[in-house]
Amino acid sequence: MNLLEVKSICKTYGSGEAAVQALKNVSFSVMKGEFVAVVGESGSGKSTLLNMLGALDTPTSGKVFIDGKDTFNMREKELTVFRRRNIGFIFQAFNLIPELTVEQNIVFPVLLDYQKPNKRYLEELLTILNLQKRRYHLPSQLSGGQQQRVAIGRALLTRPSLILADEPTGNLDSQNSHEVIALLKEASKKFEQTIIMITHNRNIAQTADRVLQVADGVLTDFGRCRE
């Protein structure tokens, strides 16, 4: 079953002679629980694609369906709620709130949605992420790898249908990078999370189930990676 359907997405910035085609007729689908890596050089269009998938920007033409829902056919308020409940974001810069503890950062999206966090699931995540002993620490008291694990926990706690990770290992050393990728793969398998990860690192990309490449706005599907 496909969780994500991208149909003929085009994105053009500017007009006339100054027009830049960031995405050119991009179409692909992603199954539920699949871990997909998107590679490409700087300026290739991969970050623009991620913004389209996360409904953070609108295409010039084309459609994106998440779990059968047309994200670009929603009113702004409806889209905001849908995005908060169905899409988790993991950023290269972590984007943690410095005044909040590890636990508070993880549960913040749930509280923002006026919901109560699932305490059992929170404890499970803290255990998987090896953050039990850091739950009351502030981001400034954590290493880069620990901060990224907090960001992963924050993305997972709402049990979103889709997780979008933008260069999640970009600010990490080799060991922490491997740990973060292992956590994402575990989340994909254990919690049936569908994950799309932007990365410039082709070695890391090869750990995904499938690799897509964006070059000059055109997407190429390299298919499934070998186990």
Q: Give every strand in the sheet of 2-13, ordered side by side.
A: 20-31, 2-13, 61-66, 69-70
Residue 33: left (phi > 0), alpha (psi -120 to 50), or beta?
left
CA 34 to chain centre: 12
- Per-residue pLDDT tens over the stretch 155-212: 989 889 999 999 888 888 888 888 888 888 887 888 788 999 999 888 889 989 999 9
| Lowest-confidence pick of 116-130, 179-193, 206-220 | 179-193
- Per-residue pLDDT tens over the stretch 38-54: 998 888 899 999 999 99
pTM of the model: 0.88
Mean pLDDT calculated for residue range 3-27: 93
Task: Give the domain ranges of the chain.
Answer: 32-60+76-224
174 close to 181: Cβ distance less than 8 angstroms: no
Residue 81 has pLDDT above 70, yes or no: yes
Other CB atoms within a 10 A radius of the CB of residue 112 amount to 10
**Tell me: domain 32-60+76-224, CATH 1.10.3720.10, correct?**
no
Residue 16: left (phi > 0), alpha (psi -120 to 50), or beta?
left
Token pair 């790898």 is found at 145
Residue 127 CA to residue 77 CA, distance in Å, equals 35
At 91 the three-state DSSP class reads strand
